[in-house]
Amino acid sequence: WNVVFSQFDNDGHDHYTELKQKNIDTGMGLERLAVVCQDVDSLFDVDTVMNITNKVTEITGASYGQSQEKDVSLRVITDHIRSASFMICDGVLPSNEGRGYVLRRLLRRAARHGKLLGVNRPFLYEVVDTVVHENEGHYPELRERQAYITKVIRVEEENFAKTIDGGMKIFDQLLAEHKEKGESTFSGADAFKLYDTYGFPIDLTIEMVEDAGMTLDRSAFDQEMQEQKTRAREARKALGDLGWAGVEFGKDIPSTEFVGYDHDTVEDAKVVALVVEDELAEELMTGVDGIVVLDKTPFYAEMGGQVADHGVITCGGAKFEVNNVQKNKGGKFMHYGKVVSGTFKVGETVTASIDAERRKGVRRAHSATHLLDAALKKVLGDHVHQAGSLVEPDRLRFDFTHFEAITPEQLAQVDKLVNDAILEGIPVVTEVLPIEEAKKKGAVAMFGEKYSDVVRVVEMGGVSMEFCGGTHVDNTAKVGPFRIKSEASVASGVRRIEATVGQLTLDTINRNQQVLFHIAQMFKTNPGELENRLEQQMNEMKNLRHELEKFKEQTSLGEARSFLASAKTVGELKVITAQRDGMDAAAMRKQGDFLRDKEPGVVGVLASVNDGKVTLLAVCGKDAVAKGVKAGDIIKAIAPICGGKGGGKPDSAMGGGTEVSKVDDALAAVDDFVAGKL
């Protein structure tokens, strides 16, 4: 195994300085120890891992030890499906960034090696049961979440199959472009585009390029990959320290005690640190934006999806308005805001007061989020897990794992379950328990979160019991009316519900009711009869529209009869040309069909100008067509005069143009065209 003797510090510029504390690091991990104890050749030959490989062998038909290439594929699949199962169990979902991107690449690489072994269908999900069986002794949560892990992997495999199909089309287009230029090298930039944009594995691209008798510019591809990694590193740097960018408070400043579960105001808080423009300061003056750190606070710092409290910190005549609160890694609550009067100094005793009404709205929304989570599990199934949330005053956004659209009936059922729990008036009980005791009680942990040995549990009767550090109402009845505003997909396998509670829902109901009463007054009825009145009105409008269409049609046909009466005779045919601006294409067709069907020897051309565009219609009766005069030919001849084009069948054709001033010229050309044909 690896034994590393740590002796020097390298500054990145080939300068080595000896470490004050030297050490020895040995890489003898559990699996390497198992290799020794079981007297096998590699980690992949250890029994728990080999059993997974045996399952892959059973599915693919490829035997371990048959060839170097097949062994590599079997090992890749074994390793990746094991890693993916644990990642998904820990709350990671496939995505295009961060850890989700790592998971997606693992699954797609494993699927790719399955294809190399001749498996052209989703199969990785079938191995999950074996992975769980081999590891559940020490990781029982794998068995608890097996159905969910299996579903995530299957959906990702199916999506990858679609990606391969789509990528093949893009590849064929790119390959054709290279061949048209007579190139023998496939562009590294194109290969990277296939990889990065369409998720197409590079080894698959290489294989297909070679099959086409070309070579891939691998160095250019590698350069693109390196540039992408550099961009990703720079993007991570730009995010800075998520805990606190730039200021280190030090160990002398104590962690902040949060007393906001029981108090909206604290009158004896002490200012332990002040920050101005990323630097520690001794005082904050009027008009200055800064950060105040207290030894204790009623202000909730933004975390767990719950927004931070707003409020004020005062000291005599001095006032600091708080608009955000963040908690850093050292447990200090940083109150962001601005001094609107007076001056604050380190060491002063101050009064910290939250906006109590705003906090009430946040409590209502947070408690509703727990009820919503429980309702979704009941209606959709236990595979539902929270994948993110945002809790604001009387408004919530809840992301959860589910792999298909929720039906209106299911959504109505969820809505009813939440409102039933609210109307029940269930006491909300919070207690702090050792984590194992909390789990035994049945408390639900947020999927993927890591918890300390002691957790806070929020229980709402037999409806919901969750680990949660947020603030809540003391009775579900205080949540007020719950209303789902929207439900949609936000990522593969993740859906989002947005909802309102409390005063915000009441305001919406009142506003809608006012609109309803106003509309009822407009229709001279009451809200209860409005539906019948609207249906009656719609039927009346439908009948009126029908009568209007009949009137327009009669008018149009009467106009067509007058056209026939005034038609010019060219040879043995009757030629009609007319311009009727404002007519739509459907009305022109009706008029043209009437002319054609009424007079076998007619040649009719109608023109209409609408919004600066010319529409042309030509019709020819059966006698005219028999003499060689065809509507499609007429349109092809006259439409270019108007700066357009068109065509169609011998008896009916349409065209258009953009030069409105040339309509007369186009119609004048019809007589000469007919005479020429005759």
pLDDT at residue 649, as a whole number:
92
Asked whether residue 473 falls in the same domain as residue 590, the answer is no
pLDDT at residue 673, as a whole number:
93
Nearest-angstrom CA–CA distance, 239 and 241: 7
Phi, psi at residue 602, to the nearest 5°? -90, 145
Q: Is the pLDDT of residue 357 over 70?
A: yes
Q: Is the pLDDT of residue 451 over 50?
A: yes
Answer whether residue 547 is part of any domain.
no
Mean pLDDT of 3-22: 89
pLDDT at residue 193, as a whole number:
86
Confidence band for 450, pLDDT divided at 50, 70 and 90: low
Asked whether residue 50 falls in the same domain as residue 84, the answer is yes
pLDDT at residue 235, as a whole number:
62
Q: Is the pLDDT of residue 335 over 90?
A: yes
558-573 burial string, b = 16+ CB within 10 Å, else e?
Answer: eebeebeeebeebeeb
Mean pLDDT of 408-423: 96
Selection from 104-108, 453-457, 650-654 with the highest mean pLDDT: 650-654
pLDDT at residue 172, as a whole number:
86
Q: Are 99 and 393 in contact (CB under 8 A)?
A: no
Amino acid residing at 133: H
Choice among 88-102, 211-225, 499-513 with the minimum mean pLDDT: 88-102
Phi, psi at residue 272, to the nearest 5°? -105, -15
Neighbours of 154 (CB within 10 A): 17
Answer whether residue 361 is part of any domain.
no
The residues facing 454 across adjacent strands are 434
Paired sense of beta strands 215-216 and 185-186, if any: parallel
Mean pLDDT of 639-660: 92
Q: Are 35 and 44 in contact (CB under 8 A)?
A: no
Q: Which residue has the tokens 């030894």?
A: 295
pLDDT at residue 441, as a whole number:
84
Sign of the dihedral defined by the CA atoms of residues 472, 475, 479, 483, in that order: positive
- Tens of pLDDT, residues 565-607: 788 888 889 899 999 888 888 888 888 988 888 889 999 999 9
pLDDT at residue 240, as a whole number:
43
Nearest-angstrom CA–CA distance, 493 and 154: 11
Task: Please give the full DSSP string across 132-157, using - where no structure is assigned.
Answer: HHHHTTT-THHHHTHHHHHHHHHHHH
Q: Are 491 and 92 in contact (CB under 8 A)?
A: no
Asked whether residue 224 falls in the same domain as residue 272, the answer is no
pLDDT at residue 603, as a whole number:
93
Task: Say which CATH number the domain at 349 has.
Answer: 2.40.30.130
Answer whether residue 367 is part of any domain.
no
Answer whether residue 212 is part of any domain.
yes
Q: Is 625 left (phi over 0), alpha (psi -120 to 50) or beta?
A: alpha
Q: How many domains does the chain have?
A: 4
Asked whether residue 126 falls in the same domain as residue 196, the answer is yes
Mean pLDDT of 37-56: 92
How much of the chain, in percent, has pLDDT values that exceed 70? 95
Q: Is the pLDDT of residue 109 over 80?
A: yes
The residues facing 397 across adjacent strands are 390, 498
pLDDT at residue 241, as a whole number:
40
Residues 6+ apart with CB under 8 A from 603: 570, 573, 574, 575, 576, 618, 619, 620, 621, 624, 629, 634, 670, 674
pLDDT at residue 553, as a whole number:
67
Phi, psi at residue 674, to the nearest 5°? -65, -45
Answer whether residue 347 is part of any domain.
yes
Asked whether residue 266 falls in the same domain as residue 194, the answer is no
CA 512 to chain CA mean position, Å: 30
Nearest-angstrom CA–CA distance, 326 and 304: 12
- Tens of pLDDT, residues 255-309: 899 999 999 999 999 999 999 988 888 999 999 999 999 999 999 999 988 999 9
595: containing domain = 558-677
Asked whether residue 80 falls in the same domain as residue 154, the answer is yes
Smallest Cα–Cα separation from 372: which of 444, 300, 431? 444
Smallest Cα–Cα separation from 106: which of 36, 37, 201? 201
Task: Say which CATH number the domain at 387 has.
Answer: 3.30.980.10
Which of 191, 209, 238 delimits the end of a domain? 238
Task: Say which CATH number the domain at 633 has.
Answer: 3.10.310.40
Which of 210, 238, 266 delimits the end of a domain? 238
Asked whether residue 450 falls in the same domain as residue 580, the answer is no
Amino acid residing at 222: D
Mean pLDDT of 179-205: 84
Q: Is 522 left (phi over 0), alpha (psi -120 to 50) or beta?
A: alpha
Asked whether residue 407 falls in the same domain as residue 466, the answer is yes
Which of 205, 238, 271 delimits the end of a domain? 238
Interhelix angle 146-180/98-116, nearest 10 degrees = 70
Answer whether residue 520 is part of any domain.
no
Nearest-angstrom CA–CA distance, 235 and 136: 38
Q: What is the mean pLDDT of the chain?
A: 88
The sheet that has 645-648: what strands, in order across it? Answer: 568-570, 573-579, 602-610, 613-620, 652-657, 645-648
Residue 297's alpha-carbon distances to 353, 430, 432, in angstroms, are: 9, 20, 19
Q: Is the pLDDT of residue 324 over 50?
A: yes
Q: Which residue has the tokens 């209007």?
A: 548
Residues 6+ apart with CB under 8 A from 668: 577
Q: Are 674 and 603 in contact (CB under 8 A)?
A: yes
Question: What tokens does 269 get?
Answer: 């808080």
Smallest Cα–Cα separation from 91: which of 446, 621, 538, 458? 446
Choice among 100-109, 322-331, 549-558 with the minimum mean pLDDT: 549-558
- Tens of pLDDT, residues 663-672: 999 999 999 9
List, in sequence order, the alpha helices (H) in 523-601.
Answer: 530-565, 585-598
Asked whether residue 69 falls in the same domain as residue 197, the answer is yes
Q: Please tell me whether residue 208 adopts helix, strand or coil conformation.
A: helix
Mean pLDDT of 125-153: 91
Confidence band for 154, pLDDT divided at 50, 70 and 90: very high
Q: Are 585 and 640 in contact (CB under 8 A)?
A: no
Amino acid residing at 599: E
Choice among 206-215, 230-239, 337-346, 628-637 with the minimum mean pLDDT: 230-239
Confidence band for 161, pLDDT divided at 50, 70 and 90: confident
Q: Are 576 and 667 in contact (CB under 8 A)?
A: no
Sign of the dihedral defined by the CA atoms of residues 657, 661, 663, 665, in that order: negative
Asked whether residue 171 falls in the same domain as residue 48, the answer is yes
Nearest-angstrom CA–CA distance, 533 and 524: 9
pLDDT at residue 597, as a whole number:
86
Confidence band for 237, pLDDT divided at 50, 70 and 90: low
Q: Is the pLDDT of residue 246 over 50?
A: no
Q: Is the pLDDT of residue 110 over 60?
A: yes
Selection from 178-192, 520-534, 579-593, 625-639 with the highest mean pLDDT: 625-639
Q: What angle do CA 373, 378, 381 make, to 5 degrees?
A: 95
Mean pLDDT of 347-373: 96
Nearest-angstrom CA–CA distance, 561 and 544: 26
Answer whether residue 158 is part of any domain.
yes
How much of the chain, in percent, has pLDDT values that exceed 90? 52
Q: Please tell me whether residue 254 adopts helix, strand or coil conformation.
A: coil
Using CB atoms within 10 Å of the CB of residue 283, give its burial: 0 to 12 exposed, 13 to 18 middle, 19+ buried.
Answer: middle
Amino acid residing at 516: L
Answer whether residue 6 is part of any domain.
no
Instruction: Considering only residues 53 and 583, tell me which one the structure prediction assigns the higher pLDDT.
Output: 53
Choice among 98-102, 619-623, 633-637 with the minimum mean pLDDT: 98-102
Q: Are 445 and 467 in contact (CB under 8 A)?
A: yes
- Tens of pLDDT, residues 536-547: 889 989 998 888
pLDDT at residue 315, as a whole number:
94
Q: Is the pLDDT of residue 643 over 80?
A: yes
Q: Is the pLDDT of residue 245 over 90?
A: no
Mean pLDDT of 141-146: 88
Asked whether residue 309 falls in the same domain as residue 207, the answer is no
Asked whether residue 234 falls in the same domain as residue 95, the answer is yes
Mean pLDDT of 395-415: 92
Sign of the dihedral defined by the CA atoms of residues 522, 523, 525, 526, in that order: negative
pLDDT at residue 244, as a whole number:
43
Q: How many CA atoms lie within 13 A of 429 on its CB side?
A: 12
